Structure 1
Amino acid sequence: MNIIFENPDKVNGLMTVTVEQGDYQADVDKALKDYRKKANVPGFRPGQVPMGLIKRQVGTSVKVDVVNRLLGEKMYEYIRENKIQMLGEPMPNEKQVPQDFKTDGPFEFIFDIAVAPELDATLTDKDTVDYYNIDVDDKLIDQQVEMFQSRAGHYDKVEEYDPAQNDMLKGDLRELDADGNAKEDGVVVESAVMMPEYIKVDEQKALFDGAKLGSVITFNPRKAYPENDAELTSLLKIDKEAAKDMTSDFTYLVTEVSRFVKGEVNQELFDQVFGKDEVKDKETFRKKIAEGIKSQLANDSDYKFLTDLRKYLENRVGELQFPDTLLKRLMMNNNKDKGQEFVESNYEASVKELKWHLIKEQLVAANGIKVEDKDIKDVAVQVARMQFAQYGMSNVPDEYLENYADSILKDNKNIEGFVDRAIDIKLIAATKNVVKLNEKNISLDDFNKMMQEK
């Protein structure tokens, strides 16, 4: 088999592969013999079908399969051995002519190869990249304490509604007719829950001020929620179509007033957040909260570092020459249902991501980064821990986290994302030890503003 690779401009490659009879014949003969052993042809015992008949029946198709398999194997072997950094897959060249597989060949195949441009993303201690340390101040700790208090809170029954306390009401709703009487066959909802503080119109909201057990308030749900049919359907238990035409007044008989009370900062809260007897006083409680916040914010700082590193290297590498025509053909092949317009409108963004992908590949290779099963599992556990933390569960045992991580990993759709995250974690750690960090302290508010501006 003869392979010729031409790459005059470094990015547009042309590969010509010539397959001779001697390259494929032995494999074809073996495949035909195997087929003959299994062939079931009327009038012949198994394994006794004449080879001439076998060749007439399946000889050409077997040859096509063998040649295509050898073609793929040898092409990719050549690409690996010659360290050709190919983008996408080989594509048949427009000069390719149909091959007559009824003959013995030789068969010639011509492929276009999109080759990655050369670049240098080497990092040393002479490269400087910003690194933002986010301050963990009392304000952040107070917010976290308040969040834990809210999650540990409860509702107490009270006598009178106070809008400043964001009280919750429960009562019976009844639709009224034009004369202000209970409407026959009108909408009736028992034990309807309302939080008047969330009513959009102040005039309607004020009708509930000073409400007590047994109070009857007349209000108009449509006026209270003028632009939100979802609120009406939920409150009145009606469908969307009925909500569109609902303009009636309603009475609301208050049967219960509840006030939310935050949990106290005491041993019960300490145990709930960090586990029994892990924390004994408020000072230690706040210290452990600060440690948790610092760990979370370190991930944000690392993410910002990686985005800054990307920008730094993209600027340093400069403009790259890509095989635009070939890449657009590749995009079109992968998005046939979306058309050429999709390719043209998304090509620039795609090439931008490809540039970073190539830089990142070089960094990964230079730092000897490899991702193993344990790294992927660690990322899944980290995701599990973050998901539990969102619900205030910061003391979930490792056994539960690992079991939950295992269940996440069973979904193959998650694997690629976890692999990418594992690579990023290792890449951040490696490059932080290579470049010079221009460390800056910043508040969380200023950090978030900076990220939003980016």
Structure 2
Amino acid sequence: MNITRNNVDALNAIVTIELNKSDYEGEVEKVLTNYRKTANIPGFRKGTVPMSLIKKQYGKAVKLEELNKVLQQSLNKYMQDEKLEILGNPLPVVKEDLDLDKDDISFEFELGFAPSFDVDLSTVKNLTQYKVVADEKLLDDQVLRIRKQYGKMIQKDEVAEGDDLSGTFLNEEKGIDSPARFSLDVFKNKKEAAKFIGKKVGDIVTVNTKGLFDDDHKLMDYLKLDHDQVHGLDIDVDFKIEEVTATEPAELNEELFGKLFGEGKVSSLEDLKAQIKQDAEKQFAQQADQKFLNDVTESLISDTKFDLPSTFLKKWIQTAGEKALTAEQAEEEYSRSENGLRYQLIEGKIITGNGLQITFDDLKDYTATMIRKQMAQFGQLDPTEEDVNNIVARVLQNQDEIKRLSEQVMSEKMLNLFKEKVKAKTKEVSYEEFVKASYGE
């Protein structure tokens, strides 16, 4: 056997494996001998079939199978010995003139190499790490939401701002006869919403569907129309008011505080706001961390320059899945996945360069913390170590869970590394300002 490599360029190579008869003949003869012992061919007793007949019937198929085994083993060993970092898998070069009857046969494989590049986190610039605070408006809104949630519903005869309405949307031409319940703030078009103010149970209010909601898809829910019908829909619909209700907010007293947080933990409006602020800012911190992680990731993908063996990867994508793709489909798939591949390579460099590793203790600790949080949500605030450890052991018996948790642990390690090494300005903002910074809304 002889293996040689021709580097086409820095990212592509052709590996040629030349096999001699001695590289595969012994295994082929062994398999054919076993076939001869068990072959059931009319006119011959089992075990007495002539080897020439066995070779004629099975020889080529067995030889091809054994060639594939030798090639796979040899190619894998060669790549390990040469310490080649490849992308995808080796692609066999199709030969029209391949003659399996020859004793000495040559095979070629295309390789696509991982590019060589460096990642310097200190060069990531112009990023902001947000500290999101719960401002007074948010706290007041949350207090009102809680009071309404635990408040008393009262029946009304006339519609006022903030009321809830039940009734039926009607349009005979479009076949609309759809019961619905909503509050007036569901409408984006405030002019249409204002038509309901002062109306009474039994009245009919006509509204136009164009721009009624912030998203036309909501018309599917309220009018029970198909997806294709709601885009740009511009018709008048009647709404027959059948019920008007308002919520009388609950009193801020010890009974409500006890329902929310347990007896004696909150005793005043100030305490309630402090608890809301603490809980909200914990959630905001997680969202701000995720944004920072995403921003660093996007910056690294954008600013870390390296080439990929794109032609090779597109060819590999055509054959990598359960179903073969056309060249056009592979091109589309490559376009969708290129940034993901680039970040996988960047992430690998960061992990290796900074010695980030996941130990089994990391997984156990992370899983235990996650389980304690979940148990707390269901009122189990002080579980025993034994109970938690038993659940951890069961979770970590599942390989899919181990994979999912490992990704989360590594994401946490990456975030901590970015916070340490990426230069970013810190900015304190309200949640509303944070949403605008994140989504431009």
Question: TM-score over 0.5 for the alignment?
Answer: yes
* Counterpart pick for 1:210 among 193, 198, 221: 198
Amino acid at match of 2:24: Y
* Counterpart pick for 2:434 among 438, 444, 447: 447
Q: 1:69 to 1:268 in 2, by over 3 A?
A: farther
Q: Is the 8 A contact 2:12 2:309 kept in 1?
A: yes
Q: 1:428 to 1:31 in 2, by over 3 A?
A: farther
RMSD of aligned alpha carbons = 5.1
Q: Is the 8 A contact 2:266 2:272 kept in 1?
A: yes
Distance 2:234 2:299 in 1: 58
**Cα distance, 1:246 vs structure 2:** 9.4
Cross-structure match for 2:22: 22
Amino acid at match of 2:438: M
| 1:14-413 matches, cutoff 5 A | 14-44=14-44, 46-47=46-47, 49-93=49-93, 96-103=95-102, 105-121=103-119, 130=127, 132-139=129-136, 140-150=138-148, 152-154=149-151, 156-169=153-166, 193=181, 195=183, 208-212=196-200, 215-220=201-206, 223-225=207-209, 252=240, 254=242, 256-267=243-254, 269-270=256-257, 272-274=259-261, 276-277=262-263, 279-282=265-268, 283-310=270-297, 313=300, 317=304, 319-333=305-319, 339-341=326-328, 350-371=337-358, 394-395=377-378, 397=380
**TM-score normalised by structure 1 residue count:** 0.71
Total equivalences in the alignment: 426
Amino acid at match of 1:110: E
**Cα distance, 1:396 vs structure 2:** 5.8
Q: 1:17 to 1:136 in 2, by over 3 A?
A: same
Amino acid at match of 1:67: L
- Out of 57-66 and 291-300, give the one that drifted further: 291-300
Q: 1:35 to 1:385 in 2, by over 3 A?
A: farther
Q: Is the 8 A contact 1:131 1:304 kept in 2?
A: no
Q: 1:278 to 1:16 in 2, by over 3 A?
A: farther
Map Cα deviations across residues 194-234 of structure 1 (whole Å, 9 max, x no partner): 6566578778766644345xx532444xx454678988887
Identity, in percent, stands at 26
> Helix, strand or coil for the counterpart of 1:216?
coil
- Out of 328-337 and 361-370, give the one that drifted further: 328-337
**TM-score normalised by structure 2 residue count:** 0.72
Distance 2:11 2:228 in 1: 60
Map Cα deviations across residues 82-136 of structure 1 (whole Å, 9 max, x no partner): 2211111212336x44432233x22211111111211122557x98885614132
Q: Is the 8 A contact 2:210 2:235 kept in 1?
A: no
Provide structure 2 residue ranges, at least 5 long, that are not aligned to the other structure.
none
Distance 2:66 2:377 in 1: 58
> Helix, strand or coil for the counterpart of 1:427?
helix
